[in-house]
């Protein structure tokens, strides 16, 4: 009997996949197919949730089959993340105007990423204080206790290392090992390695222009190859979002979400405020925030549903270069650096809110100006090297709470709503990277305004 229900549930998902495929054959725009997949996934997930309940073995077995499409799609994106990060940074050096805008571009991107992280930390602190969040008010069950113990165990190794040692860990000792993503800081290590090669390329340009021409041709050829792989995978986005959202909604613990509603609400208020701040930056750059939102919508939808900034990188770069008019060099730097530096959601708002929530349990007044200023500084410094994959927020929380001498184990109190909060955090991370790219391109005068203002339907037809 159970096998029959599982088969029925899988067939239901395949029917929805068929709907999206039919829309594709009818040449419905890419953005409409993405949002249709998102909507269908939410509705189908709710139906399954109501029909079976989160504890159902039938539902667990059914969603395992959903993972063939959803998790399979994310894996394909993750497959190309490290090659894409590497070739994007290296390729950026072949596309920039040497000696003219490079220093300004790099400074602006890093300044925006770190500056917005400081602002995000402030917003997180204000939200936690405004909602009077206190971790000691949460009743901890076995899941929370186990999660807290796991986080405390992870923090042992981190806490034992002084800050200089943590900074040294960002450097690539073995870049080939980092290409496997073996370390929490592997992403930024690959970025640093690619940047070293990029600066070496600029030296070759000055001293051996004939060799530089050969290198440029080879780098650009590899870049084209990787980006074509990206395009192939991106065509699967509507199907991936459908399966991911169906599984997420079907297995969501709405009871826990209700019980921790204040914490979820406070998190999303902070995320929404920070998103508005991003839009204000776009507006101050002389660009339409409405046009911006329309063009980044499907990328943020995928980031929201997949909970992976790294997995969203191909869409992040594609959106900047083909829809928003950001030059490839700037887009590559902003997108790649944004994976491991200054993530506004995971490395900014989240650890700041946790610190404020946990401070009373350590006898610290979270309203103390010294505590707040120290927390913001620690959050910004700790935002270096936070991996743009699942677990990045936990790593950031461990760094911040350890540095502030707060009980790390209490970070496990939100485990039951962690996936829901993480969706919004990831979307904000990605939006921060895109905002940095667009703003930098605008300030340096390299943004293609005609492409930015071009009708979305014309651009979507090329995806």
Give pLDDT tens digits for 386-440: 654 445 677 777 778 777 888 776 666 666 677 778 889 989 999 999 999 999 9
- pTM as predicted: 0.76
Share above pLDDT 70 across residues of the chain, in percent, rounded to a whole number? 84
For domain 100-234+253-460, give the CATH number: 1.10.3860.10
DSSP 27: T
- φ and ψ at 272, to 5 degrees? -65, -40
Does the structure show a pLDDT above 80 at 183? no
Where in the chain are the domains?
Answer: 100-234+253-460
Query: What pLDDT shows up at residue 186?
Result: 77
142 confidence band (pLDDT: 50, 70, 90): very low
Long-range contacts of 35-38 (CB under 8 A, 24+ apart): 35/297, 35/298, 35/301, 36/238, 37/237, 37/238, 37/239, 37/240, 37/241, 37/242, 37/245, 38/241, 38/242, 38/245, 38/301, 38/305
């Amino acid at each position: 009997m159970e096998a029959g229900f599982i088969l029925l549930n899988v067939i239901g998902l395949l029917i929805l996949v068929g709907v999206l495929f039919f829309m594709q054959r009818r040449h419905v725009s890419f953005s409409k197919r993405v949002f249709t997949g998102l909507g269908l996934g939410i509705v189908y997930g709710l139906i399954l949730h109501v029909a079976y309940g989160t504890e159902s073995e039938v539902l667990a077995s059914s969603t395992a089959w959903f993972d063939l499409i959803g998790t399979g799609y994310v894996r394909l994106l993750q497959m190309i993340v490290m090659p894409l990060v590497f070739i994007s940074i290296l390729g950026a050096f072949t596309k920039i105007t040497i000696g003219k805008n490079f220093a300004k571009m790099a400074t602006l991107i890093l300044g925006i990423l770190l500056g917005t992280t400081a602002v995000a930390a402030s917003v997180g602190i204000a939200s936690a204080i405004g909602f009077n969040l206190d971790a000691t008010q949460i009743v901890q069950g076995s899941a929370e206790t186990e999660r807290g113990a796991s986080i405390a165990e992870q923090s042992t190794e981190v806490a034992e290392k002084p800050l200089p040692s943590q900074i040294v860990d960002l450097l690539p000792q073995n870049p080939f090992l980092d290409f496997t993503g073996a370390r929490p800081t592997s992403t930024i290590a690959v970025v640093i390695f690619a940047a070293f090669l990029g600066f070496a390329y600029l030296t070759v340009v000055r001293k051996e222009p004939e060799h530089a021409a050969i290198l440029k041709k080879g780098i650009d050829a590899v870049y084209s190859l990787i980006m074509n792989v990206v395009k192939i995978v991106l065509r699967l986005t509507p199907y991936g979002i459908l399966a991911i959202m169906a599984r997420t909604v079907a297995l969501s613990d709405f009871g826990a979400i209700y019980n921790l509603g204040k914490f979820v609400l406070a998190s999303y208020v902070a995320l929404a405020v920070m998103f508005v701040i991003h839009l204000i930056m776009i507006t101050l750059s002389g660009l339409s925030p409405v046009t911006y939102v329309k063009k980044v919508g499907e990328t943020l939808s995928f980031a929201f549903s997949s909970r992976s900034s790294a997995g969203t990188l191909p869409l992040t770069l594609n959106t900047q270069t083909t829809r928003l008019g950001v030059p490839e060099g700037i887009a590559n730097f902003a997108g790649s650096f944004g994976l491991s530096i200054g993530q506004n959601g995971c490395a900014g708002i989240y650890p700041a809110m946790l610190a404020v929530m946990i401070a009373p349990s350590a006898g610290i007044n979270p309203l103390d100006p010294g505590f707040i200023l120290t927390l913001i500084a620690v959050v910004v410094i700790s935002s270096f090297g936070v991996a743009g994959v699942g677990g990045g927020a936990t790593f950031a929380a461990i760094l911040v709470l350890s540095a502030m001498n707060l009980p790390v184990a209490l970070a496990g109190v939100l485990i039951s709503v962690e996936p829901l909060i993480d969706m919004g955090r990831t979307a904000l991370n990605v939006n921060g990277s895109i905002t940095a790219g667009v703003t930098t391109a605008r300030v340096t005068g390299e943004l293609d305004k005609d492409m930015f203002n071009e009708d979305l339907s014309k651009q979507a037809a090329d995806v």
